Structure 1
């Protein structure tokens, strides 16, 4: 007999988190991997981890009250729990991702890194996720990533076998609109059959223009455009946070 409740089944299918929820759960996972002696974390430690300057994009400035509310929402979702110390005075927090999902350790590290930094190349992802779990080669990373991709937990802007493609998590809220466009390189585009020329034909070299230079220019423009979009998104997010801080300050001053 299956004792799993419908509520527990629903929790297993969480695929969308707010920006603050992604940052908080990412911090809990990261610290559990990298500093197990200091884990579970206090509220102050979680807040510090959220706002640290390294390995975070964008850099945030969350208050302890904001982080507390976020932890509380994650507790309601069943992916965070509060642990009381022996003295009973200090609450500490831990994640329950292993209980709620059937992710491998490398897959948890992959999601952690993507939640904390967002889109990046496969090479960058392997280097950063390897801080938490050994991922020896890109082939190992691709195999683990494919498992997440098949379940739509992550996304990419091209075949993960290609060099230079970018990947990201897929836990954005719908209103964020963070969907990677699937790009096809010039070399991968199929030539219509009516335009194909036999390689044995003496006219092959003359009929087929050299697109290598054009391809390099297009890829560089695409990369520059993506970098600019990320900078705009970061500035927008920072502005939203400043507006929220201003609202809170006005409330404290009774304005």
Structure 2
């Protein structure tokens, strides 16, 4: 199935439903209020958004027309759940990776493996890369590629992956290092990569602590 490009809010709504189906199954399907709270949470989101109820409802209505979500019957309050895996025609592992990319932006295979712990436990980074490559090489008759591997930034050891559900991604041209500045640029890039990995681990820890009602280590 070839989808039209999603809007950023549609992608956030869809990704949030996919996340909560796995991380808080007892409260899933989600009410509109719970969905808006999930879209706007301050952890595990990049970029941070401020989605209104009206915007979330409009996105749900559009996603419903694409068969990506549906409203459950029964109960006094309408609840929503996603239909991503069946509608797009991808395996569970691929759906997990696409959901994470929609919620957290471009990530390396290593970051995706760390961030997927509460969604799905991949055996190793190689298995993550295998599913990403399958999504990148997806045949046109199945809807075409769903992810792209971004160029390695100067001095960066790992490349990041981005989803294509919102359309083509602007891929910046690699910037050549200035003469004599390569060692410092490479060191700075490695520091930034490490900081990114630490931030991802910290975000995952905070998310887990919030779900369990615990304080993070070092906090009162």
Unaligned runs of 5+ in 1: 1-11, 187-210, 225-255
Equivalent position to 1:180, from 171, 176, 180: 171
How many residues are matched?
A: 183
| TM-score w.r.t. length of structure 1 | 0.64
Tell me which residue corresponds to 1:41: 30
CA distance in structure 1 between the aligned counterparts of 2:191 and 2:116, rounded to whole angstroms: 22
- 2:199 paired residue number: none
Cα deviation 1:87-136 (Å, max 9, x = unaligned):
4x211001111221221111111001100011122211111023201112
Counterpart of 2:197 in structure 1 is none
- Per-residue CA deviations over 1:162-207 (Å, capped at 9, x if unaligned) read 9411111112246xxx323475999xxxxxxxxxxxxxxxxxxxxx
Q: Using a 3 Å threshold, how does the CA distance of structure 1 residues 45 and 179 change in structure 2: closer, same or farther?
A: same
1:74–1:80 Cα contact (<8 Å) kept: yes
Describe the SS at the equivalent of 1:53.
Answer: coil
Between the aligned partners of 1:58 and 1:31, the Cα distance in structure 2 is 18
Kept in 2: contact 1:185–1:215 (CA 8 A): no
Partner of 2:185: 217
- TM-align CA RMSD: 3.0
Q: Is 2:157–2:190's contact at 8 Å kept on the other side of the alignment?
A: no
Q: CA deviation at 1:18?
A: 0.4
| CA deviation vs aligned residue, 1:186-245 (integer Å, no higher than 9, x gap) | 9xxxxxxxxxxxxxxxxxxxxxxxx9x836625846997xxxxxxxxxxxxxxxxxxxxx
Contact 1:155 1:180 in 2 (8 A): no
The answer on whether the counterparts of 1:27 and 1:116 sit within 8 Å (CA) in structure 2 is yes
Distance change >3 Å, CA 27–CA 77, structure 1 → 2:
same
1:124 equivalent to 2:124? Answer no
The answer for unaligned runs of 5 or more in structure 2 is 139-144, 193-220
Aligned match of 2:60: 71
Q: Which has the higher helix share?
A: 1
The structure-2 alpha-carbon separation of the partners of 1:173 and 1:102, relative to structure 1 and needing over 3 Å to count, comes to closer
Using a 3 Å threshold, how does the CA distance of structure 1 residues 98 and 120 change in structure 2: closer, same or farther? closer
Question: Which residue number in structure 2 is paired with residue 208 of structure 1?
Answer: none
Q: Which SS does the other structure have where 2:95 is aligned? A: helix
Normalized against structure 2, the TM-score is what? 0.73
Q: Which moved more, 1:214-223 or 1:48-57?
A: 214-223
- Distance in 1, Cα, partners of 2:48 & 2:11: 13
Where 2:72 maps in the other structure, the secondary structure is: strand
The structure with the largest alpha-carbon Rg is 1
Describe the shift of the 1:33–1:184 C-alpha distance in structure 2 as closer, same or farther (beyond 3 A).
farther
User: Could you tell me which of 78, 99, 109 is aligned with 2:86?
Assistant: 99
Q: Which residue of 1 aligns with 2:150?
A: 157
